[in-house]
Amino acid sequence: MATSADKGPFGARRDGKIAATLTSGAVGAMAGGLAGLAWGGVGGRIAMRVLLLTSPDYVRGLVSDDGFEMGRFSPDTIALLILAAILGGLAGFLYGLIRMVLRGPQWVIAIGLGIALAAGVGGGVIVNAEGNDFRLLKPLWLAVSMFMVIPGAWGVTVVLLTERLLQPSALFPKLPARINERYWGATGSAFGWMVLAAMAGLGITDLVRDVAKLT
């Protein structure tokens, strides 16, 4: 019978897959929230501010597609920072689950996730020819580059930070025994990498289509 000392923070045995996976997800959520606050929140506002300075004067004071005044730091900025941290935390939780499958050197996973998110989220979701932001902000190449770098940098940061936090420390003195194992074998890892590759491919396809419309 397992004692409380044998159990992780979620009540599952420390030597079990469930405890390892849930702990990985929770730590990924923490890392993702911090990275989201830094890159999505602060980085996003800085990017908009820079683009405001490089764009025509008539852009000043206009409301962006996400409902915030372009480049202006106001009380609404706090809401944006909170939203970025929440979304980053949710995405980080998913990464924490995915990391239990992906195999490879840490730097390879960091770069792979960064590229997938830069293309899939930045190029495929944020860059949008149907909205006003990328029609008004100039130069277009700078706007596109900045908003692809932000999710890409989030991806690299969350991998490195999650792995750092999952090292035994004063913050996490007793991690599940199987926290650094990879489940589902080579098949699971291949599937995970295929998902990232598909995300990048679809994002690039959508980006090319949107840039063509914007130019």
Domains of the chain by residue range: 12-214
Q: What is the mean pLDDT of the chain?
A: 86
The answer to whether the beta carbons of residues 161 and 34 sit under 8 Å apart is yes
Nearest to 126 by CA among 47, 18, 57, 197: 47
pLDDT at 5: 47
Q: Verify cis geometry, omega within 30 degrees of 0, for the bond prior to 139.
A: yes
Looking at the whole model, is its pTM more than 0.95? no
List for the chain the helix, strand, coil content (%; round to 5).
70, 0, 30
Distances (CA, A) of 1 to 7, 153, 179: 11, 45, 22
Residue-level pLDDT at 107 = 94
Instruction: Using 50 as the pLDDT threshold, list the residues of the chain that sit under it.
Output: 1-5, 11-12
Strands (E), 106-207: none
Query: Tokens 């915030």 appear where?
Result: 68
| Residue 99 CB partners (closer than 8 Å, separation 6+) | 24, 28, 109, 159, 162
Q: Would you call 186 exposed, middle or buried from its count of C-beta atoms within 10 A (0-12, 13-18, 19+)?
A: exposed
